């Protein structure tokens, strides 16, 4: 089955919370592109991972280091298995066949989506799981994991665990799989956000309503004036090519373009398959060394 990637439409980090996490406000879109994952039950207590690493060459090593070829104890699937088994020792072990396409350090949720796939597998096997418990355990694995347990696009806040389902007009896009590596921890530290615990501002509530309307109508161009990714200035300063990618997406026909998450991937959204084909060809010509992927949502 598909373990889908996500992109962020806007990502505001208003402050650092007393619990050490950062408050976020963003729209998460599920893509129809990602990893392929097959999970089958085996002897209780056993965990096996078989990976087909198809990540772009520059980042392939990052996954190998935490796969069955490296230190498996650092792999998010193994961590998820261990946490679930700590609560439900009677559940079967797993053999996981993973075709890994989502690169690490990309802002696409590649580890979180795999963890959610394993949660979903066990949820299907055990009626003892309830959604509240699943979401609590999932949030302990990673802030983005609860989103991937949902089947919808979401308006996301809190540290990533507060989800509001939203309607999004179907659309198309192109994702640039970039080789640059941006440390999430370093990016958050670079924002230098103040420590506070304010409730969502009236501006965000109003903005959220405006964004939901634009998404429902498919008015991607209107989002340019409404959404920002707070990480873009840091990312574009460190790697100017990422900024050039965004500029080129917009110049070549994209209705909206942005860095996703804390980076380093950049995407462009379009209105229509023909426009996407033209944009894809132009971007490949302009950036022949990069890998581009078409997606729908």
3-state secondary structure labels for all residues of 189-236 = HHHCCCECCCCCCHHHHHHHHHHHHHHHHCCCHHHHHCCCECCHHHHH
- Domain count within the chain: 2
- The pLDDT-based confidence of 206 (bands split at 50, 70, 90) is low
Chain centre to alpha carbon of residue 240: 22
Looking at 6, 16, 101, 246, which residue is catalytic?
Answer: 6
Q: Clarify whether 36 is annotated catalytic.
A: no
146 and 89 belong to one structural domain: yes
Q: Whole-model pTM?
A: 0.93
285 is in an annotated binding site: no
115 is in an annotated binding site: no
Lowest mean pLDDT among 13-17, 55-59, 112-116: 13-17
209 and 92 belong to one structural domain: no
15 and 155 belong to one structural domain: yes
100 and 188 belong to one structural domain: no
- The pLDDT-based confidence of 189 (bands split at 50, 70, 90) is confident
> 181, exposed or middle or buried, with CB in 10 Å at 0-12, 13-18, 19+?
middle
- Is residue 161 within 8 Å of residue 272, measured between CB atoms? no
| Domain stops at, among 123, 144, 165 | 165
137 and 223 belong to one structural domain: no
105 is in an annotated binding site: yes
CATH of the domain at 195: 3.30.70.890
How far is residue 243's CA from residue 259's CA, in Å, rounded to a whole number? 9
How far is residue 186's CA from residue 189's CA, in Å, rounded to a whole number? 5
91 and 51 belong to one structural domain: yes
108 is in an annotated binding site: yes
Check pLDDT > 90 for residue 80: yes
- The pLDDT-based confidence of 199 (bands split at 50, 70, 90) is low
Looking at 35, 100, 144, 246, which residue is catalytic?
Answer: 144
123 and 230 belong to one structural domain: no
How far is residue 256's CA from residue 253's CA, in Å, rounded to a whole number? 9
47 and 115 belong to one structural domain: yes
Check pLDDT > 70 for residue 125: no
More confident residue, 273 or 192: 273
State pLDDT tens for residues 209-241.
888 889 999 999 899 988 999 999 999 999 999
Q: Clarify whether 6 is annotated catalytic.
A: yes
H or E, element range at 165: strand 162-166
Percent of the chain with pLDDT over 90: 76
More confident residue, 15 or 104: 104
Check pLDDT > 70 for residue 204: no
Q: What is the pLDDT of residue 211?
A: 86
| Domain stops at, among 142, 165, 188 | 165
Lowest mean pLDDT among 49-53, 80-84, 86-90, 275-279: 86-90
65 and 42 belong to one structural domain: yes
How far is residue 109's CA from residue 114's CA, in Å, rounded to a whole number? 9
Alpha helix stretches (DSSP H) within 95-183: 110-125, 131-141, 145-149
158 is in an annotated binding site: no
Q: What is the pLDDT of residue 198?
A: 58
How far is residue 26's CA from residue 265's CA, in Å, rounded to a whole number? 16
Residue with tokens 């408050």: 23
The DSSP bridge pattern shows strands 47-53 and 93-100 to be parallel
CATH of the domain at 125: 3.30.230.10
Q: What is the pLDDT of residue 131?
A: 74
Chain centre to alpha carbon of residue 231: 15
- For residue 81, what are the domain limits? 2-165
152 and 189 belong to one structural domain: no
- The pLDDT-based confidence of 246 (bands split at 50, 70, 90) is very high
34 is in an annotated binding site: no
- The pLDDT-based confidence of 205 (bands split at 50, 70, 90) is low
197 and 63 belong to one structural domain: no
More confident residue, 249 or 124: 249
106 is in an annotated binding site: yes
DSSP per position, 20-54: SPBP-EEEEEEEEEEEEEEEEEESTT-EEEEEEE-
């Amino acid at each position: 089955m598909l373990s889908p990637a996500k992109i962020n439409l806007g990502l505001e980090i208003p402050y650092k919370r007393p619990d050490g996490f950062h408050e976020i406000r963003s729209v998460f879109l599920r893509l129809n592109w990602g990893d392929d994952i097959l999970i089958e039950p085996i002897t209780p207590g056993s965990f096996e991972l078989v990976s087909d690493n198809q990540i772009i060459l520059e980042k392939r090593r990052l996954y190998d280091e935490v796969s069955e070829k490296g230190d498996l104890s650092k792999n998010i699937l193994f961590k998820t298995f261990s946490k679930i088994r700590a609560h439900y020792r009677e559940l079967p072990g797993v053999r996981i066949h993973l075709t890994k396409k989502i690169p690490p350090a990309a802002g696409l949720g590649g580890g979180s989506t795999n963890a959610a796939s394993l949660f979903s597998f066990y949820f299907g096997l055990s009626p003892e799981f309830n959604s509240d418990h699943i979401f609590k355990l999932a949030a302990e694995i990673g802030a983005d994991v609860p989103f991937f347990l949902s089947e919808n696009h979401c308006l996301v806040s809190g540290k990533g665990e507060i989800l509001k389902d939203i309607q999004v007009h179907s659309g198309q896009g192109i994702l640039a799989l970039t080789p640059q590596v941006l440390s999430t921890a370093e990016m958050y530290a670079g924002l230098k956000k103040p420590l506070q615990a304010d409730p969502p501002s009236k501006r965000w509530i109003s903005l959220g309503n405006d964004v939901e309307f634009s998404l429902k109508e498919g008015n991607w161009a209107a989002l340019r004036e409404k959404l920002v990714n707070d990480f873009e200035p840091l990312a574009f300063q460190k790697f100017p090519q990422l900024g050039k990618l965004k500029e080129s997406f917009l110049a070549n026909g994209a209705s909206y373009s942005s860095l996703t998450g804390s980076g380093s991937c950049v995407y462009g959204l379009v209105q229509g398959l023909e426009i996407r084909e033209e944009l894809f060809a132009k971007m490949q010509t302009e950036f022949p060394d990069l890998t581009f992927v078409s997606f729908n949502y």
